[in-house]
Amino acid sequence: MTKEQVLDIADKIKTLSIESGAWVEVEREFNKANKLERIRLIIS
């Protein structure tokens, strides 16, 4: 799965959650050492 696909899914989840009244936060963290980005969805 590519980074773009993951971000697209995160956006869709955020949109659906807003419509249903849930609260979603997307956290993005870039690790300079291994050049990876961590994407975390917090849904409540």
Q: What is the residue-level pLDDT of the chain in tens, covering all 44 positions?
A: 788 888 888 888 878 887 788 787 888 888 889 888 888 888 77
| Total-model pTM | 0.51
| Vertex 11 angle, CA 43 and 17, to 5° | 40
CA–CA dist 1, 29 (Å, integer): 18
Q: Which two tokens stand for residue 6?
A: 């993951």
Which 8-state DSSP code applies to residue 34? T
Cα 24 to chain centroid, rounded: 9
DSSP code of 33? T
**pLDDT on residue 42:** 82
